Chain A
Amino acid sequence: MADVFRALDDETRRLILDELAVSDGKTLFEICSLMAGKHGVGSTRQAISQHLAVLESAGLITTERRGRSKFHYFDSEPLAAIIRRWPIVEKGNQ
């Protein structure tokens, strides 16, 4: 679980997850386009690639080959595990 928190402790990685959570199945090129064009993140392609590797090893994204290209998908399971460990308590409903 520590790797999930470490993966989330970076604004660029959170922005990548924001984009994949809205619509996933994106190539590295598309993610780089969104980071640069929409979020003004000027990271190199290599840096974005490393961010994706951190997210993947934390289980927050998965990759799949379709044809000859590699696509990235958001996986919320590690976040669900956090909620299961510390369930959300509704206040003021007693």
Chain B
Amino acid sequence: MRITITGVFVDDQEAALAFYTDVLGFQVKHNVPVGEHAWITVVSPSAPDGPELLLEPVGHPAVKPYRDALVEDGIPLAQFGVDNVEAEFERLTARGVTFTQPPTEYEDHMIAVFDDTCGNLIMIQSDSVADE
């Protein structure tokens, strides 16, 4: 078994696509219209055949209370790997991204948490502090 697709709920798929590609730097893998929404996945340019992230429209009434409770406590819904957390923090802050948690050492690696502007908090982490 492999992890091929995982997803995050997004308030607005168009805005999410723009943020996940233009700001974060992922690339579109699939963008298939399905009714009033679309089936959109993005991948990392460094792993175009790797795991896909599905940008799933918010529709179910349980999604809002679920996400609100997580965001209130600062809990990220997804985690992405980066080479250097500090450098990403600087790059994304310059692009206007808000961090709820600045780069913090956690055991043997660095973590930071930002708001994806689509209703979720996302954690970035490096493999080890030594990589920074």
Which residues in A have some Cβ–Cβ distance to B below 8 Å? 26-30, 33-34, 37-38, 45, 49, 67-71
A residues less than 8 Å from B75 (CB atoms):
27-29
Q: Which residues of B contact A68 (CB under 8 A)?
A: 68, 71-72, 115
In this complex, the interface size class of chain B, counting residues with CB under 8 Å from chain A, is: 10 to 19
* Residue pair B101, A37 in contact (C-beta under 8 Å): no
Name the residue in B74, B75, B76, B113 with the highest tally of chain A Cβ atoms < 10 Å from its Cβ.
Answer: B74
Q: Which chain A positions have C-beta within 8 A of B74?
A: 26-30, 69-70
Scan residues 50-88 of chain B and give those whose CB is less than 8 A from a CB of chain A. 68, 71-76
Q: Convert B91-132 into 0s and 1s, putting 1 for each residue whose CB lies closer than 8 angstroms to a CB of A.
A: 000000010110011110001010100000100000000000
Residue contact A45 to B73, C-beta cutoff 8 Å? yes
User: When chains A and B are docked, how far (Å) is the Cα of A34 from the Cα of B113?
Assistant: 14
Q: Nearest-CB distance from A30 to chain B (Å)? A: 5
Q: List 13 A-B contacts (CB under 8 A).
A: A27-B101, A29-B73, A30-B113, A33-B101, A33-B106, A37-B104, A49-B73, A67-B98, A68-B68, A68-B71, A68-B72, A70-B73, A70-B74
Q: Are A30 and B104 in contact (CB under 8 A)?
A: yes
CA distance A28 to B106 in the complex (A): 15
Known: A29-B75, A29-B113, A45-B73. A69 touches B106 (CB 8 A): no
Nearest CB of B to A29, in Å: 4
When chains A and B are docked, how far (Å) is the Cα of A28 from the Cα of B105? 16
CA distance in complex: A55, B71 (Å): 22
A26: which B residues are within 8 A, CB to CB?
74, 101
B71 (CB) vs chain A CBs: closest residue = A68
Chain B residue at minimum C-beta to C-beta distance from A72: B74
Q: Which residue from B71, B104, B107 sits with its C-beta under 8 Å from A69?
A: B71
Is B76 a contact partner of A29 (Cβ separation < 8 A)?
yes
B105 cross-chain contacts in A, Cβ below 8 A: 37-38
**Measured CA separation A67–B71 after assembly (Å):** 9
The interface residues of chain A lying within 8 Å CB-to-CB of B73 are 27-29, 45, 49, 69-70
Q: Give the one of A34, A49, A67, A69 with max B CB within 10 A.
A: A69
